[in-house]
């Protein structure tokens, strides 16, 4: 996420907006990691996990953006 933040952050846009872009750019890697966690779970549990993961990704990516900005100053 840090590499994507460095690539995508213009330094002036709202952190959450950049965070959403970072999360989207990392989606394939996140999908692969999630597949490991949901293996063998019920379809309902898989769907719930994936829904929560997407929400968590955007929040985490926004934190990465804020941290990256703070450490660049």
pTM of the model: 0.79
Confidence of residue 50 (pLDDT cuts 50, 70, 90): confident
The rounded distance, in Å, linking the Cα atoms of 36 and 73 is: 37
Give the pLDDT band (50/70/90) at residue 73.
low
pLDDT > 90? residue 72: no
Distance CA 45, CA 2 (A): 30
DSSP string, the chain: -HHHHHHH--SSS-HHHHHHHHHHHTHHHHHHHHHHHHTTS-HHHHHHHHHHHHHHHHHHHHHHHHHHHHHH-
- Name the one residue in this structure whose structure tokens are 């549990």: 45
pLDDT at residue 19, rounded to an integer: 96
Query: What pLDDT digit, counting tens, does each position of 13-49 carry?
Result: 999 999 999 999 999 998 898 899 899 999 999 999 9
């Amino acid at each position: 996420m840090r590499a994507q933040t460095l690539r995508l952050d213009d330094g002036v846009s709202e952190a959450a907006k950049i965070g959403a872009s970072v999360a989207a750019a990392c989606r394939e890697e996140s999908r692969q990691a999630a597949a490991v966690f949901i293996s063998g779970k019920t379809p309902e549990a898989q769907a719930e996990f994936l829904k929560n993961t997407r929400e968590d990704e955007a929040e985490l990516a926004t934190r990465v953006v804020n941290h990256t900005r703070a450490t660049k100053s």
